[in-house]
Amino acid sequence: MPASITRNLVTGGAGFVGSHLIDRLMQAGEEVICLDNFFTGRKQNVAQWHNHPNFELIRHDVTDPIRLEVDRIWHLACPASPVHYQFNPIKTAKTSFLGTYNMLGLARRVGARLLLASTSEVYGDPLVHPQPESYRGNVNTHGIRACYDEGKRVAETLCFDYQRMHGTEIRIARIFNTYGPRMLPDDGRVVSNFIVQALRGEPLTLYGDGLQTRSFCYVDDLVEGLIRLMNGEHTGPINLGNPGEFTIRQLAERVRDRINPSLELICEPLPEDDPLQRQPVIDLARQQLGWEPGISLDQGLEPTIADFRQRLIDP
Ligand code: NAD
Ligand code: UDP
Q: Which of 74, 54, 62, 58 is nearest to 10 (CA)?
A: 74
Residue 235 CA to residue 111 CA, distance in Å, equals: 16
**Signed CA dihedral, 167, 151, 42, 238: sign only:** negative
Write down the pLDDT at residue 2: 54
Residue 220 CA to residue 179 CA, distance in Å, equals: 9
What atom of ligand 1 comes closest to residue 148's alpha carbon? Answer: 34
Q: Does 63 contact ligand 2 (Cβ within 6 A)? A: no
**Signed CA dihedral, 262, 268, 153, 280: sign only:** positive
- Determine the distance separating the centroid of ligand 1 and the alpha carbon of 36, expressed in angstroms: 10
Residue 21 CA to residue 17 CA, distance in Å, equals: 6
Minimum-distance ligand to the CA of 175?
1
- Determine the distance separating the centroid of ligand 2 and the alpha carbon of 250, expressed in angstroms: 13
Residue 107 CA to residue 170 CA, distance in Å, equals: 9
What atom of ligand 1 comes closest to residue 217's alpha carbon? Answer: 40
Indicate which residue of 148, 162, 179, 218 is catalytic. 148
Write down the pLDDT at residue 4: 87
pLDDT in tens, the chain (315 residues): 456 899 999 999 999 999 999 999 999 999 999 999 999 999 999 999 999 999 999 999 999 999 999 999 999 999 999 999 999 999 999 999 999 999 999 999 999 999 999 999 999 999 999 999 999 999 999 999 999 999 999 999 999 999 999 999 999 999 999 999 999 999 999 999 999 999 999 999 999 999 999 999 999 999 999 999 999 999 999 999 999 999 999 999 999 999 999 999 999 999 999 999 999 999 999 999 999 999 999 999 999 999 999 998 876
> Rounded to the nearest 5°, which phi and psi values hold at 214?
-145, 165
Q: Does 274 contact ligand 2 (Cβ within 6 A)? A: yes
Write down the pLDDT at residue 1: 47
Q: Active-site residue 218, yes or no?
A: no
* Whole-Å CA distances, 10 to 19, 20, 177, 211, 213: 9, 11, 20, 36, 31
What domains sit in the chain, N to C, each tagged with a CATH number? 7-178+218-242+277-294 (3.40.50.720)
Write down the pLDDT at residue 314: 72
User: Which residues 6+ apart lie within 8 Å of 231 measured at CB?
Assistant: none
DSSP state of 29: T
